[in-house]
Amino acid sequence: MHTFKLGQTGGQESIVKEVDKLMKYLRKQNGNGFNPSTLMQLCVSNIISAFVVGHQFEYDDERHIKMIETMKASLQILSYNTVAMFFPRLSKLPFIGLSTFYDYYDSFRAQLGEEVTRHKLNLDKNNPKDFIDYYLIEMEKSDAEENGFTDVCLDIALTDMFIAGTETSASTICWCMLMLVLHPDIQIKVQQELDTVIPNEQEFVTLNDQNRCVYVQAVIYETLRYSSIGPFTMRAATEDTVFRGYRIPKGTFYLGDIMGTMHSPKLWNKPKEFIPERFLSKGEPATLIKQEFLLPFSTGKPYICKNIARSSFFSVSSACVNGPYA
């Protein structure tokens, strides 16, 4: 991951290409209403796909649609059966549906497994093109298994990047669009900043413009806080520790209350209100303030697709405000 820097400068072309494809699709709707959920999932998974497997899909590609549908079906089952993950005996009840979830999950893994097989057959060690190529090269080193570079770990990493990355990023972008619709005054401020930043010959913002779009970034931060797409996180203690008088042995799993943290009135002023300005300094020009208790990517070790997610939030959300009608 240190060698292959996801979501940074080298991947800007892929993001721009995908945003352009999204804008063309939106224009074809001619202002008619539609549900953006699946479209955003197709868009975000394509951005992830470019970095991870080295290519992107068309929105009507049957393989791509099948991956999205499988992912959505598995997450839908899991969303109302989470309790069975913590009380395994409940999973034996016929109406719980965890067996169906695992069927969908295995189907999704099989589709990603086909990509890994193709990469193994066509691997060019002198010219790695994507995450899988870099991973396969690491797997051939003598200490690969000791460092966790195995087929099983690759399988888990790919599944996590696509399922967790696609659903959370797409949902966050949809939340951002919803908040702008509900708060037209904020939408106007976003549009004004984009009009100032984007040159006449440029259709939409790129990652190079991100540092100049301070208010847009504040809106994205507030969306991440307000939506709290990942309400809790599961982690394991890396060593024996004592917390508030309770002894926690190494390896103990615990749940972090992410939503509770990002909606606590003790930590945030008016947490139930959507206020992007909470992330901006006072005075002119305003600068972005990073809040300690903003935890959109959970706690502990950083999320593997964190850079891709941030790039997707900014590029897609900005383009949706400014781009479809250009």
**CA atoms lying within 13 Å on the CB side of residue 289:** 14
Give the Cα-Cα-Cα angle 48, 54, 56 (nearest 5 degrees).
65
Q: For residue 77, what pLDDT is reported?
A: 66
**Whether the model pTM is above 0.75:** yes
Total H helices, total E strands in the chain: 11, 4
Alpha-carbon gap, residue 309 to 246, rounded angstroms: 36
Please name which of 244, 274, 84 lies closest in space to residue 178, comparing C-alpha atoms: 274
Per-residue pLDDT in tens (0 to 9) along the chain, 326 residues: 445 554 444 467 788 888 888 888 888 887 777 778 888 988 988 988 888 888 888 888 888 888 888 777 777 766 656 666 666 676 666 655 666 767 777 877 888 888 899 999 999 989 888 889 999 999 888 788 877 888 888 888 888 888 777 888 888 999 999 999 999 999 999 999 998 888 765 667 777 888 889 999 999 999 999 998 777 777 788 899 998 899 999 988 877 788 888 899 999 999 999 999 999 998 888 898 888 888 776 655 555 667 777 888 888 888 888 765 54
CA distances from 216 to 21, 31, 168, 221, 284 (A): 22, 24, 19, 9, 16
Alpha-carbon gap, residue 123 to 141, rounded angstroms: 15
Q: Walk me through the domains of the chain, giving residue ranges and CATH numbers.
A: 9-322 (1.10.630.10)
Alpha-carbon gap, residue 40 to 203, rounded angstroms: 20
DSSP bridge pairs for 288: 280
